Structure 1
């Protein structure tokens, strides 16, 4: 009997020991930091190599893992879809973010990717603040982290652009902050909070945008050293309002002195009236490298104030998007001195952010990835100057061409409701009224588009819904197509051709195509359990979220179609 009791006691005593082994915490980094650089071509990593410092891009490349052939696998390659794709691991066909703007058939008006009139601004103007992720149809990797930790993890997004912070953060985020040029402040909406945290209010009160705009934009290095760029004064660059030439130095104090309409107020928001501009044009900072510096300042303050990655046993996530590279690129092009100078200064801002991660979270305790939401084409003038193929098309002219032909063939009527993302939105009620077949009219419009200069091909929505492509232009369009929001006919431009909204004047550059200059972006992993290395294997941006899920041992986002990148997971 004593032996039986002794055995039973030993068995009972063994249970806690076994339980301790089972309850050992899942190995995870203290913090995940996503860095998205807006409009960063892959080749920028190496074009500016000799001018970069050792603690920014070079540190990520020298200590981290680089996927040298990372591409987007859909069109259009715009900011909204890019940020959504990175963090959902899904293409627009699943996450629903088909562009920065699209036509809403149910409301009969255009909408903006993060527009939400059911919420109110927190800390900013109505136009800037009525934003949320309501259009996003799938979870993000941040949402899944919150779910996996029973909502103990903090997930925060921040950017100068609303769509650059809101879409990465996802529907379940603790907060998303973006910049309002009307008052020079980082703001949010009632989707996330009723009022700004005290630390955000204090940060905004420091007046940093005005401080950054108080000095001229001089080149970081002597101008003669910018040998990777075109001459400073070329005809294909746009000027700041108030300047006569697109040349250094840019007199930011003078240019920001007079109040002008903000960049945000120029974006599509049908039916809205822009608020009165601030006494100083604080929105100007978007089009300078100092907006990136302001973003880095705010990111570092967010780490400190929210104690991200500094709470025992909890993994947090910070999504940071540097937007000013996009504004500068659009205005000056991919080969401008302004673009190079912006990246050299961003390199220093990245170094500051990485150093702060070492200090606040601990060396090797944060898992960082860096990528871009899209690339960029070369400026048309630059291509023509060097006898390279390329050109521009006028969006209004393309729309009008379709409208005129349909009017001539079928009579008067508003046949085209909208032309957005190189997609024609037909007036379907009018077609029904006239007794016209939708699929046949779509093919008719595709035929019209194919006759226009710069158009490589045009495909109908009916074709995309009834066929499947595993490669080529069809695959890109299929992955970017979501029937309730996409147009009736989708056009593809020739390589080197771009949408010129001020046609026939073509200044600066843009993006959105399925050609490699728009799809090829950097992808770097650095920090927690990441070994140094590189791979030339073809990978896709949708693989990022799947890879993070494996690092974190959590479920992939609900619409994720990417696959974990095994090479960086070998630790």
Structure 2
């Protein structure tokens, strides 16, 4: 009898121990704790830059992410307009401009009747420069980022640092609670700066970096990394579709940056070359060491935006040898960055994602030359023609306050005084717009606000429309039609060339694989939040990509 009781008790203890082990294993799978999460946004990166330049990449940058991590090959933005500030905000907040409120880089403020900048903040002061370039903060972003949620989850013990050439590329991703955001100030200084939103003075490691004159070392010749004849993935170096730099007759290699800097903004010229990405990589690595990121068991976040790709794309165009060389060199910068993380944080101890804030259209003049429908929208006279229309239709020539970001803002007080119906005025203008050459879509704010759109171009307008900040009439150009110079590329539409961007994950907690299943940019923040086991950003509307996570 005693043996039976002992056996029974022993069995219970074993079962209890086994159950506890199962419970512990399940708990350990609820979330993982990388020491560091690195979010990388490549400004103006089309998805096909991964595939077009694939054979020119080394094994340690883009290819490492694809071979060791997970590649979402059909990743898109889910709203219009596809600009830099909305892109960065959407990546990190997990929602669209409808909710986070960053509807453009600049936009018309209906209350102040002036244009405002997405990160501009007159209540703070510059740190690291006497120039007003530091008067910036994330105060116009209405929701949290996953970096904010990580800070809240860790009781502010997990650090967040944002780094970019552009202020908005550093500030918006890092969120409201960041320890610091740093961006590059060119002109005659060539330094990384910040604002009093974060701190009263630069840390010693930042001062040391700025004193190292790293920026000056990049005022050198920019030539192709490899023999230019091997750059078969891009067009002729000399063509009619590129902008170039002041002081040089042709947009052709090589470029003497030290010489050209005198007519091109001093140190600002670095931004428009691959070396702008290199100095961001240099600074990001200095930030990892200077801030001791990833050195304990509390997850830190580093946001890095490589913005020089955008400057080069705007200047030279999608098919230029300058763009190809920029991506080949960025691949090298990524490789040395990852190598440093392996040594400093530990291989397998950090998690990285890489995406873009928008894509870019081929130069319409180039497309037109190859019989692809494309063109340019002429803005000159656009507003005056609409004023003529409102005069004939409603007896007033000043109903339109502002036209920006492909949105028309009406003077609602004037409409009320004249006894007009707002929706009637909106619809009449939308109807007129659709009769104009090169305008493909036109919708009223009332239609977009009231409609339950879940797909098509209307859903993109819906997700990009903010009730408080957006205009009264929204419109889109024809495919491959832009309002821009005849040289270089731009972006902003809801078409595939602007919405289809890379999405790569690799590192701790990430599966190896790929998918052609459609994913959206707003899915990134919930995925990282799910990985970390933290709250989703408070306005998030995206869904975690469960198939990416181990």
TM range (shorter): over 0.9
Pick closer, same or farther for the CA change 1:254–1:108 going to 2, 3 Å. Answer: same
What corresponds to 1:545 in structure 2?
525
Residue of structure 2 in register with 1:75 after alignment: 80
Whether 2:165 is the aligned partner of 1:181: answer no
Residue of structure 2 equivalent to 1:191: 197
1:290-329 Cα offsets, whole Å, 9 max, x none, are: 0000000000000011010012x21100000000000000
* Counterparts in 2 of 1:485 and 1:314: CA distance versus 1, 3 Å: same
The structure 2 residue matched to 1:161, chosen from 166, 173, 180, is 166
Q: RMSD in angstroms over aligned alpha carbons?
A: 2.0
| 8 Å contact from structure 2 (residues 69, 510) kept in 1 | yes
1:404 is aligned to 2:388: yes
Is this contact kept in 2: 1:141–1:549, CA < 8 A?
yes
**How far does residue 568 in structure 1 lie from its aligned partner after superposition?**
1.0
The CA deviation at 1:128 is: 1.1
2:48 equivalent in structure 1:
43
Instruction: Show the counterpart of 1:296.
Output: 281
* Aligned position for 1:58: 63
Corresponding residue of 1:380: 364
1:413 shift after superposition? 4.2
Q: State yes or no: 1:113 paired with 2:109.
A: no
- Aligned with 2:152: secondary structure? helix
- Correspondences of 1:473-552 after superposition (within 5 Å): 473-500=457-484, 502=485, 506-552=486-532
Paired residue for 1:389, among 373, 392, 401? Answer: 373
Partner of 1:268: none
TM-score by length of 1: 0.90
Which residue does 1:210 correspond to in 2?
Answer: 216
Matches of 2:317 and 2:301 in 1, distance apart?
33
SS of structure 2 residue aligned to 1:514: coil
Partner of 1:249: 254
Q: Please show how residues 218-233 of structure 1 align to structure 2 within 5 Å.
A: 218-233=223-238
Contact 2:388 2:397 (8 Å CA) reproduced? no
User: What does the per-residue CA deviation read over 1:527-569, in whole Å, with 9 as the maximum and x for residues that have no partner?
Assistant: 1022321011111111111110111011100010111111111
CA separation of 1:227/1:425 partners in 2, compared to 1, >3 Å: closer, same or farther? same
1:144 aligns with 2:121: no
1-side partners of 2:406 and 2:322: how far apart?
Answer: 29
**Does the residue aligned with 1:478 lie in a helix, a strand or coil?**
helix
Partner secondary structure for residue 233 of structure 1: coil
- SS of 1:548's equivalent? helix
Q: Distance in 2 between matches of 1:22 and 1:422?
A: 54
Counting only pairs closer than 5 Å after superposition, residues 298-313 of structure 1 correspond to structure 2 as: 298-311=283-296, 313=297
Does the 8 Å CA contact 1:177/1:188 hold for their aligned counterparts?
yes
- Aligned match of 1:466 in 450, 456, 459? 450
CA distance in structure 1 between the aligned counterparts of 2:135 and 2:469, rounded to whole angstroms: 21
Structure-2 separation of matches of 1:187 and 1:386: 45
TM-superposed CA distance for 1:402, in Å, is: 1.6
Matches within 5 A, 1:231-270: 231-258=236-263, 262=265
TM-score of the superposed pair, with normalisation by structure 2? 0.93
Counterpart in the other structure of 2:309? 325
Q: Which runs of no fewer than 5 residues in structure 1 stay unpaired?
A: 1-10, 263-280
Deviation at 1:396, TM superposition (A): 4.2
Q: Aligned match of 1:200 in 187, 203, 206?
A: 206
Distance between the aligned counterparts of 2:155 and 2:24, measured in 1? 19
In the TM superposition, 1:82-93 aligns within 5 A as 82-93=87-98
The answer (yes or no) to whether the contact 1:395–1:419 under 8 Å persists in 2 is no
CA contact (8 A) 2:82 2:358 kept: yes
Distance, in Å, in 1 between the alignment partners of 2:155 and 2:34 is 17
Cα deviation 1:26-65 (Å, max 9, x = unaligned): 6311100001000000000010111111111111111111
Per the alignment, in what secondary structure is the counterpart of residue 452 of structure 2? coil
1:151-185 Cα shifts (integer Å, max 9, x gaps): 10001111001110111000011111111123211
Deviation digits for residues 235-265 of structure 1 (CA, Å, limit 9, x no counterpart): 111121112111111121111134x5x5xxx
Segment of structure 1 superposing worse, 540-549 or 424-433: 424-433
2-structure distance, mates of 1:401, 1:526: 52
Q: What CA distance in whole angstroms lies between the structure 1 residues aligned with 2:430 and 2:412?
A: 16
Could you say if the C-alpha distance between residues 400 and 227 of structure 1 is closer, same or farther in structure 2, counting changes exceeding 3 Å? farther
Contact 1:399 1:424 in 2 (8 A): no
Matched pairs, number: 530
Q: Which position in structure 2 is the counterpart of 1:420?
A: 404
Tell me the CA shift for residue 451 of structure 1.
1.7
In structure 1, what is the equivalent of residue 10 of structure 2? Answer: none
Measure the CA separation in 2 of the matches of 1:395 and 1:483. 26
Change over 3 Å in CA distance of 1:397–1:288 after alignment to 2: farther
**Structure-1 separation of matches of 2:380 and 2:344:** 51
Moved over 6 A (4+): 21-26
Aligned 8 A contact 2:125 2:132 in 1: no
Q: Distance in 2 between matches of 1:295 and 1:165?
A: 11
